[in-house]
Amino acid sequence: MKAIRVAAFIALIGFALGIAMVGDALAGEKLKLRLACYMVKFDPVAVGDEEGHLVAVSEAKGISTNLQGEKFLDGWPYRDCYLVEVNLNTGTWSAQGYGEFTDPEADKIYVAWEGKKVKKDGPGEGTIRLAKGTGKWQGIQGKRKWNSYRPANDRYYVDVEWDVEWPR
């Protein structure tokens, strides 16, 4: 009888460890994403120390594309609001902001980001963090780097590679 209890206990521990290991293996996943956005608001204020130096509050809207062909985030609307410091003479900027993805069932994923552009002809770059989710996305986490490109004054796109941890 004692041997059966010990075997059952060992089997239970093995089962629990197996579940934990599979859960951890599925927790982290790499995701490649592109955001295509257009500015809907840009309220600049001249700093005054030199011509072309501005601070602004900005809002943009866009759509996301999952570059790996998955459904997650693919075609979801995106809204971006941020503070930016711009030097129009050098073509450089620094910014920080927040984004909001909305899935087809209206659940949301919020991100926090920061970044800068240090060379006039170079991309913007920075870090992004999955900050919060609602509904089925509650508990989602992740972080990574991004690069942004501006083909027109009121348009930009951002390439992101995330390490995503799914909600449990």
* pLDDT per position as a tens digit, 61-112: 999 999 998 999 999 999 999 999 999 999 999 999 999 999 999 999 999 9
Mean pLDDT of the chain: 85
The model's pTM is: 0.80
Mean pLDDT confidence for 9-23: 37
| Statement: residue 129 has pLDDT above 80 | yes
Q: Which domains does the chain have, with CATH numbers?
A: 29-165 (2.40.350.10)
φ, ψ of residue 42 in degrees (nearest 5): -150, 105
DSSP string, 97-151: EEEEEE-TTS-EEEEEEEEEE-STTSPEEEEEEEEEE-GGGTT-EEEEEEEEEEE
pLDDT at 120: 86
